[in-house]
Amino acid sequence: MNSVAFIVIAIFTLAAGLAAATLQKLMHAALSFAVTFVGIAAFFFLLGAEFVGLVQVFVYIGAVAVLIVFTILLTRRDVEKDRGFNWSGAFIAIAVFGGLIWAILKTQSLSVAAPEIPALTVKRIGEVLMTNYVWPLQCVGLLLTAALVGALILVMEEKQ
């Protein structure tokens, strides 16, 4: 059951990713990219990491995808133009893929059976975030607040 689901989701995600890389219109590519995010969220659900999957949908589709789409809309005039083939992009993609394959094959833990872990509830994640990882959490909060204030200052009208 799980392996069938895995294969279906993997094909779906890869197809969406491929579409994002190859589609002619930039806007179609951006929307396919959003579909890829859905696929990745589905993987998290399959692994039982419900919280991470939901946050994936929340952040990447609700915020990042909308941001990408808006950036394209507001900055490019040639949205309809043919993008051509980007050789350097292909090279970087193959290099990253090779690096990842090498790292995965080098990893020892592939043959080790996963230990039994207790069901990961939202409550436990919250507790751990507020105790063990409270400093990283606060730092991220500070960073995001700084980004928010920075964005406000950028768009503020200059006084005459």
Contact positions vs another protein (CB under 8 A): 1, 25, 27-28, 31, 34, 50-51, 54-55, 57-58, 61-63, 65-66, 69-70, 73, 121-123
Least distance from another protein to the Cβ atom of residue 52, Å: 10
Nearer to another protein, 100 or 124 (CB): 124
Least distance from another protein to the Cβ atom of residue 84, Å: 20
Nearer to another protein, 96 or 151 (CB): 151
DSSP annotation of 156 reads S
Least distance from another protein to the Cβ atom of residue 133, Å: 18
Torsion of CA 49, 38, 98, 109, to 10 degrees: 10
Which residues, 6 or more positions from 28, have their beta carbon under 8 angstroms from its beta carbon?
19
Nearer to another protein, 58 or 133 (CB): 58
- By the 8 A CB rule, do 41 and 57 touch? yes
The CB density around residue 15, as the number of other CB atoms within 10 Å, is: 14
Q: Quick one: which H or E segment has residue 152?
A: helix 134-155
Nearer to another protein, 110 or 155 (CB): 155
Measured distance CA(68)–CA(42) in Å, rounded? 21
Least distance from another protein to the Cβ atom of residue 44, Å: 12
